[in-house]
Every structure is written in C-alpha cells, then in structure tokens.
Chain A
Amino acid sequence: MELVLALAIGVLAGCGVWLMLRPRTFQAIIGLTLLSYAVNLFIFCIGGLRTGADPVLRAGAPLTQYADPLPQALVLTAIVIGFATTALFLVVLLASRGASGNDHVDGPDGTP
C-alpha cells in the first residue's frame, strides 16, 4: 500500500510541476490542482495508513483503534483553501486573458 501511494504522490506531483512550468494559463491551473492533490495526499499519509480504523469515537474503544485525526483536519483545511485559490486564480486568468488578448502566463509579453 505504501508503495502504491508513494508512486501516486510522485506521479501527481510530477504532472503538476510539469504543467505549472507550461506557458498557458489553463495548463498552470490544472497543474496547481494536481500538485495540491499530491500535497494533500502526502500530508494525509504522514499520519500513517489505517484501513478499517474508526473515524468517530465509540464508547469503550481503545485509542489505538482510531484513525489519526490531526492530518485529516489539516488536509480538510487545505482542500477548502485550495478551492479558494483555484477560483481566484481562474478569475485572474480570465482578467489577464481579457486584458492581454491571449492566454500566456506572461500576459501581453508572452507569445500569443
């Protein structure tokens, strides 16, 4: 399982970085989305992998029975903030597209 997840993180991050370095704004936005998937998964996995653990407190269950709540809370926050960043980036992309007439990340200075 660890290997599968590590490979998944690697592939997502690699695709994300590649796309972020591309010249078109839409590529960059997709790249950011993929990169944030990779980072969220990474943070989540740091807490240790648990399948079939209890996410919610039950009476009488030992503490070792539960999934680690801390990385989950962190990632939950990250997901929401990630959405906000994507939306803001999209609007900046649209404004830049309207102002410069092309969709290059450098606006009017980039090649159309």
Chain B
Amino acid sequence: MTLDAALPALLCLPFAGGLLAACMHRRAAATWLTMAVAAAGLLLTLGTWPAMAAGQVLRWTLPWVPALGLDLVLRVDGLAWLFLVLVFGIGLLVTAYARYYMPGEDRLSRLCALLLVFMGAMTGVVTAGNVIQLVFFWELTSLFSFLLIGYWNHGASAREGARTALIVTASGGLCLFAGMLLLGQVAGSYDLDTILGAGAAIRASAQYPVILALVALGALTKSAQFPFHFWLPQAMSAPTPVSAYLHSATMVKAGVFLLLRLWPVLAGTQAWFWAIGGAGLASLLLGAVAASFQRDLKAVLAYSTVSHLGLITMLLGLGNGLGAVAAIFHIVNHATFKASLFMAAGAVDHETGTRDLRRLGGLYRAMPITAGLAVVASAAMAGVPLLNGFLSKEMFFAVALTTTQGPVTDVVVATLAVVASAFSVLYSLRFVVGVFFGRARDALPRVPHEPLRWMRAPIGLLALACLLVGMLPAATIGAPLAAAAHAVLGAATPAYNLAVWHGWNAPLLMSAMALVGGCVGFVLLRNWLNRHDVPAWVERFDTRRLYERGLAWLTVDLPAALQPAFPARRLQVQLRLIVLVALIAAGAATWGATMRFGLAPSPVDPLFAGLWLLGGVGAIAAARRAKYHRLSALVLTGGVGLVLCVSFAWLSAPDLALTQLVVEAVTTIVLLLGLRWLPKRVDEHSTPTVRERVRRWRDGSLAVLAGGGLATLAYLAMRHPVADSASRFYLENAYAQGGGHNVVNVILVDFRGFDTLGEITVLVIVALSVFTLLRRFRPAPESIGVPRQQQLQAAVGHDDGVTPMVEDLRIPGLIIKWLAPVVVMLGVHLFLRGHDLPGGGFAAGVAVSVALIFLYMARGARWVEARLRVAPLRWAALGLLIASATGFGALAFGQPFLTSHARHLALPLLGELPLASAMLFDLGVFGAVVGATSLMLVALAHQSLRRPHRGDDPETS
C-alpha cells in the first residue's frame, strides 16, 4: 500500500536533515532546511489522514532478527498520527521562531541539527511498533534533550540542568527497558500489536506489579511527575525555543504518550489507579501551587507544565475511557497554549532583557500584539470559556466526579481538582497581568518594542488554534480526537460531547468556582507574592535535594566506603591475587583428570635443546637483571625472542617466525626509546631485610608454581592426540574459496577477516592513545637534562643538539641509510607474496615501519622529516578505510560483509595472476599496520626533540 511506504520516509527524514544541517554554515540555510524538513514531515503525516479517518493502522516492517522477535516495525494509528502532527507542526513553528530569537552571532547549525535529530527520535518513539524499538528512541530523546538543554554549554546552570535531566530521564528509560522486556516475555512477543492484544493476560500475570512499577518509573520521569518533577524547572536554562519544543509539546509528552500507548494493556487495576492517579494528582497540586510563587517567567511555565501534565496523568490514572479521551484532548490543548506561552515569554525576555516578574509591567503599550496573543494563550491555560483549555478542563471535572472508587474519593478528588484549577487561574493571571498590565517600568535592561513579525507569527498561529478549537471544537479537533481515542480504546470508546455548551451542570459550576477563586486569590495575594520568596513549606516538597544527596552518596560516599574493603590500591597485590586465582582455577579444572599419552614423544634434536638452553638461561638472566641493568635485560629478552623465532621456523611455521622477527625488532626499538626517561638505578648490593626475603620467597614460589603448572599442562597437551579441529576445513578450502596457497594468511584476511579488521582497529586505537599520551608527556625533572653521553660528545664539539649520533656513527649511519630502501622493498615483497607464500600485511607493515625508524636512528628526526613526509595518521586511516571498504564492497554484490572473491586473471606481459579481493583487504591491513607502528615509533622518537625547544617549559609542551 502506498501510504505504508510513507512511514520509513517520515522516520528517516529528520535524521538525514539533521546530518545535513550540521554541515550548514549559514544561519538562513540551516533554519530553512529545518523548516523544510518539518514541513515535509507534517505534509507526509497529513497525507496519511485518509487511512486514519478510516480507522486503519499503517504498518511497515523490516525484518532484522526475527528469531529474537526484533524487527524494525513502524506503526501509525490515530494516536501516533496526532503526536506526529504535534512533533512536526510545533517543530516547524519553533524553528521559525528560533531563527529570530537566537543571538545573531550563532550560526544555528548545531541547534538545527539537534532539533532535527530530536524530532527524529520523537518520531521514532511515537511510530514504534516494537517495544524495544520504542525504548531505543526513548533513550535517544533523553540524549538529545541533554544536548539541547545544555546548548549554551558555557553556562554552569545549563550544564547542571542538562545533566540532571539526563540522569533522571535516562534512568527512567532503563527502568522502562526492563519493564518492556518483562512485558514482552509475558506477552510472548515484543511486537506492540501482540502486546496490545494480550492485555487481560498481562494484567492477570504475577509479574504485572513489577511491569507496572517499571513502566510507571519510565513514564513519570519523562513527563516530570512528582517526585521526579525537579528536572524540568532546572532544564529552563535551555534556550527558549528548545523549552517551547521539548517542554511543552514533545519530550515531556512522551511519558503520557507511553501511558496512553499501554493504556489498553496496563490500565484499569487498583495498582494503576493509585500509582498513576496518585502521582498525577500530587503533581497537579504541587505544580500549580509552586508555579504561583515563582518570579521567573519560565519557572512559572515550567511548574505549570508539571501541573498540567499531572492533570493528564491523573486523567489516565482514573482508568475509565472518558478519562483517556480527556487526556488526549488536553495533551493537544496544552501543547498549543504552552508552546505559545513559552515563545511569548521568550519574546518578552528578548525585547526587555529580563524574565523577572517583579521587574516587568505595563508592556502592553510597547508590545500590544504580543500582549494580546499572550492573553489568549494564558486564558486557555486558565480554562476560560470559548478557549480550548476550558473544554478539556470541563471534561476533566466531569471525569473527576466519577472516579469509580467510591463517593469519598470522588469528593476529595473533585475538591482538589477545583483547588488546583484555582491556582492555575491565579498563576495565569499573575503571568499576564504582571507582565503586560499595570504600571510601565523604566529600569528595564532594554527599551521594549514589538518583536519581529516572524517571531510573532508562530505565537499567533498557536493562539489562533486555541481560539478555533475553543469555539468550534467538533469541526476542528473532532475527527482527529475521535481517531486517536479509537486507536487507544477501540470498540470501548465512550460517547462524549465536544460542544461548547453542555448546559447547567456540575462541571460548569466547578469551572466557575475555580475561575472566581483564582481571581479572588490573585487580588488578595498579588502584592504578597511579589514581596516574598517561595515559602519553605513549598520548598519542602522539592525532591531535588533528595536527588542531589542520593547522587553524592552514590558517586562519592559509597565508593569511598567500599575502597578499603577491596585491596584495589596496590598493583602488586592485585597481580598476586590474579596469579593465585589463575593457579587455583587451573588446578581445580585439571584435578583428577586422566590423561592419555596418545602420541609417542618425538626424538630430541640436540641442536634444538641447546637452543632452548640458551633461551632459558637468557630468560632467567633477564629476570635477574631487569631491576638494575635495564639495557642488558632488554638485550637478553630480545635474544629469547630470537630463539622463539627460530623455534617457529623449526616447527614448520615460517609465517610466525617472520612476524616474530619483525615485531621483535620494533618492540626492542620502542623499549630502547623509552629507557632514556627512566630514573637511574645503581646496584647497591645491600643485604635484603627479612620482609624482602619473605616477599621474594612468596613471589618466587608463585612463579615456580605458575611455570611448573604451565609446563606440565603443555607437556600433557602435546602428548595428547590432536582432535579433528577446524584446521581441516581451512586446509581443504583455502585455495578453493580463498584463492591462496598460504593457509595462515588466507585465514587471517579471508575466513576470519572480521577478527582481523577488529585487530587492526585495536592497533590503530592503541597508536592513537600512545600519540595522545605522549603529547601530554611530562618528563621527570631529573631526566630532562642532556644525557651523559651527549654531554661528552658536546665536549669534543660533535653535538649540534639535534643529530647527535651522525658524526660518531658515520659508517653505521651510512649503511643504515642504504639499507632502509632495501627493507622497504622487503616489506613490499612480503606483502605481494603474502597470499601464496609466507608473508602478508602484518609482517610487511611492520617491516616498512622498521625501515622508517632506521632512518630516524641514523640521521635524526629533523633530517628525515625535512626530506620525507611521514603521515602515519593518514596511513592508518587509509588502511582502515580500505579494509572496511573491501568488506562493504561485498554488500554491493549482495553478499554478507567481508565476503571475498578470488579469480585468476590473465594479463598481458605479466601472464596469469591470482587476484583476490582479500588482497585488497590485506592492503588495508598493511596500511593500518604501517600507520599505527610508525605513529608510535615517531611519537616516541620525537620526545628526544622536546629538550632543545620546550623541555624546560612543561606548560607549553
């Protein structure tokens, strides 16, 4: 069906637009793009209306892991449709507003990109047809709201507010994730339609209370409900367009959207009534009272948002169908008037330079149009007749009178609802009268005047919507509301009447009481409110302190208390424990196992035994000398490495021998470069104390145990017959499928190419870490000075401070210089033959970087860099790109990632050549290894250059 195909476009459009907007350099371009995307999204959504009007559900599925029930499912019904209109429509208006609101020097590409991506995340939440997918987008909205609230990240309050919002909403999101997993388990599927159909079974299951608690935690944190409401007032340090978008129409509405989405599944129980209804009622009252006491315009709006969301949550908590309809209606109404009020507050702030209610007044003279629009929007917020807020509030009163929980609850809920509405009238009046009427003030930071037309237009459109819906409800919102209500309630949708006049009845009386009460309260309390701060008893309900104390305990006190309990401070203790645990684990695993000596021992070659006699002696000597004689220990270790290399060659593994040889060379050079910065140590031959003896004996026995255990294990394993392993497959298929004779290389670049891709990525990451760490390297004070050897050379006049070795090593230097191109050729040779003969990208890459470091050693860094442009970062990046591009290339032919292709090509002059795409992959490996290795070597070698320039000034280095 054609309409279904619109869904992926809806979801992808904002994300693609966000990527594009991030690259825009001009304000106009970024905002036009954002508006175009929002408008396109809005038009696409409106285009799907015929299906909504017919009561259909649009679905679009992309199978991903069907076995786990994880498919990408996009699903739009009436409820999602209504939210999509809000997300795109208000997004469009907010962007138009932001273009003129944001300070002139900001290019807005970041704001637009973030707004668009947030829009995409919201679209993802409301169109999710799979609950895991819903949680994914849910967390995305938390993440991007963090970035948007902290948009002015130079301000401490913005960072603080963003962090609080992220911690609260993302933790709620994690709870929601757990809840959704449970929900999916009980329902047997993560598909939303299946879950919606399994409502009765879920409510009856034993896990229902847990699911309800977890889902409620997610929804209540997101919608800023008591006791998690504190993040919303703190988030007011966001730019006003962001508040107008996130904190009126989208982010905070995600919570109530979720409650509506799962309403057919979870609602209607006593637990639901008390958890959701209770939180809603508390937020409704608390928000309304707290809003009345605020002085900052945006703080008034933030607390009033808490209050109105509380109203919606409470309506949902009541658990009857009419409540759900009223909730949907109020969601739309609240989005329109609150977004316009946020924008009006922003316009006042923009034109006067302050948001303090006590400093503002009489602005209707300077800004008559803005004043008129703000009056309409506030009246809607207060619930004045002929405006949309009145209608939904009437429905709210009607529902509050019939809680189905008994007459006492009815009376209490209804009374509290009237009280909260009276406070809502009070703060609306305070907002409008305090800012626009009364005495005009002179001492404003700026001389106020009417804002630009484009800043007023979005406010005007939304105020117009308030009026239209308020006067002609059935003609405007009737059909979409019916579609949304039907999507939630299905056949159980109750009859409701959207007329402006319902006759003389109880809800009308309650409305009148609230209006009169609010006006009287305002007249009585007005001056008192302007003179006093927020009273202490209101502050007491502020859970922010609790949150801050909890956070401090979790991140500071608890770790501090736990630290002494674990021996985490000393590395040696940790290592000893690791070795001990490994010994015990290995012992326990092999205890009592019977071994078969299936293979006869092969005859000992005396030469081989002699070789390892040398190796063993070298290792022990290295262990003895590593403390005081580092250079000789290093040489001895290198010797052991060479013995290892010969053994590999001896035992039919030339590839290993080759790699071991080149890696050995590079490791030794790296360690040699580091030796210079270590403190001098002199062997004093003092007699060890008793404690030292005990420690040595203990470590020595651990070492003997570990070595002996490993030796025994190795011996037993070597005598054990080899099982038929995967090797057989590789041997049989290396040529047939990989097109190479060197099986080891084919395994690395073809069969297990994905592992190798990961490995070279690790290598490059390590090289980057080395590079970054060395840029910040501060040598110890005593090793900054010129080494003794160079001092002596300077005394005989050979040292120019930069290329100290040149004069003294003239002949070796010359040989090395001539040798370097040969080593490069060796590298190329190793690479080219790698697929069929011992060699390959790894060995070749290391060999080439050895050639490079040879040049550095022979002629000094300056000489090399004056003649040769070494760009290790580019090599590494290019290598990784080639390797991944080879992998993705397979996708273009419809094959899985990294599938290789081999073929023999007959070329003129060269004859028949084996060519495999794995060769290209090996080229990537080669590039990455060259880049990573030379990056490390060059970074280390450069440390010797720091002395002549900047070594004495650690701050600049």
By a beta-carbon cutoff of 8 Å, the part of chain A in contact with chain B is 1-15, 17-27, 29-31, 33-34, 37-38, 40-42, 44-58, 63, 66-70, 72-73, 75-77, 79-88, 90-95, 97-99, 101-103, 105-106, 109
Contacts and interface: CB of A to CB of B under 8 A. Distances in A.
A6 B660 contact: no
Interface stretch (B303-311, B335-343, B506-514, B621-629): B621-629
B731 A63 contact: yes
Contact of B626 (A13, A22, A77): A22
Contacts of B615: 8, 11-12
Given A21-B575, A24-B626, A29-B671, A56 B742 contact: yes
Given A18-B623, A80-B759, A95 B773 contact: yes
A51 B649 CA distance: 9
Contacts of A93: 674
Given A84-B763, A84-B766, A27 B626 contact: yes
Given A68-B727, A83-B667, A53 B652 contact: yes
B728 A19 contact: no
A106 B715 CA distance: 37
A77 B759 contact: yes
B829 interface: no
A9 B838 CA distance: 25
Contacts of B932: 84
B720 to A, nearest CB: 9
Contacts of A88: 766, 769-770
Contacts of B933: 83
Given A9-B710, A17-B707, A76-B842, A4 B755 contact: no
B727 A10 contact: no
A7 B711 contact: yes
B656 A75 contact: yes
A98 B620 contact: no
Nearest to B703: A18
B710 A42 contact: yes
B598 to A, nearest CB: 11
Contacts of A45: 714, 717-718
B886 interface: no
Nearest to B634: A30
A99 B776 CA distance: 11
Contact of B741 (A24, A25, A56, A83): A56
7 nearest A-B residue pairs (beta carbon):
A14-B707, A10-B711, A6-B715, A18-B703, A67-B652, A69-B743, A15-B623
B708 A14 contact: yes
A3 B616 contact: no
A69 B777 CA distance: 42
Contact of B714 (A5, A18, A31, A83): A5
A7 B711 CA distance: 6
Contact of A17 (B599, B706, B767): B706
Interface string B713-732: 11101110010011110111
B913 interface: no
8 contacts: A12-B640, A14-B708, A15-B622, A18-B702, A19-B623, A24-B627, A29-B671, A80-B842
A80 B663 contact: yes
Secondary structure dominating the interface of B: helix
Contacts of A17: 579, 702-703, 706-707
Given A57-B735, A81-B759, A68 B747 contact: no
B725 A83 contact: no
A45 B700 CA distance: 26
Contacts, number: 308
Given A19-B623, A79-B659, A91-B770, A5 B718 contact: yes
B71 interface: no
Given A34-B623, A80-B842, A86 B727 contact: no
Interface string B376-414: 000000000000000000000000000000000000000
Interface in B167-203: none
Contacts of A15: 619-620, 622-623, 703, 707
Contacts of A63: 728, 731-732
Contacts of A38: 707, 710
Contacts of B548: none
Nearest to A76: B659
A102 B634 contact: no
Given A93-B674, A98-B780, A1 B659 contact: no
Contacts of B846: 83
Contacts of A90: 670-671, 674, 940
Contact of B604 (A1, A11, A29, A109): A1
B585 interface: no
A3 B732 CA distance: 32
Nearest to B722: A48
A40 B644 contact: yes
B589 interface: no
A83 B666 contact: yes
B911 interface: no
Most chain A CB within 10 A, of B619, B759, B933, is at B619
A73 B748 contact: yes
A26 B579 CA distance: 19
Interface in B120-174: none
Q: Most chain-A Cβ atoms within 10 A of its Cβ — which of B576, B626, B663, B780?
A: B626
A53 B651 CA distance: 8
A50 B644 contact: no
B727 A3 contact: no
Interface in B581-618: 599, 601-605, 608-609, 612, 615-616
B792 interface: no
Given A98-B677, A106-B570, 6 more contacts: A4-B612, A33-B637, A57-B731, A66-B731, A92-B773, A94-B777
Interface in B659-680: 659-660, 663, 666-667, 670-671, 674, 677-679
B711 A9 contact: yes
Interface in B721-778: 722, 725-728, 730-732, 734-735, 741-744, 747-748, 752, 755-756, 759, 762-763, 766-767, 769-770, 773-774, 776-778
B679 A97 contact: yes
A40 to B, nearest CB: 7
Nearest to A14: B707
Contact of B718 (A49, A70, A87): A49
B572 A98 contact: no
A95 B601 contact: no
A5 B624 CA distance: 22
B724 to A, nearest CB: 11
A52 to B, nearest CB: 7
Interface string B878-906: 00000000000000000000000000000
B495 interface: no
Contacts of A48: 599, 718, 722
A21 B699 contact: yes
B674 A57 contact: no
A24 to B, nearest CB: 6
A27 B627 contact: yes
B641 A11 contact: no
Contacts of A6: 711-712, 714-715, 718
A48 B601 CA distance: 11
Contacts of B717: 45-46
A48 to B, nearest CB: 5
Nearest to B674: A90
Residue among A40, A48, A50, A91 with the highest chain B CB neighbour number at 10 A: A91
Contacts of B727: 47, 68-70
Given A29-B671, A70-B730, A97-B677, A55 B744 contact: yes
A87 B769 CA distance: 10
B638 to A, nearest CB: 9
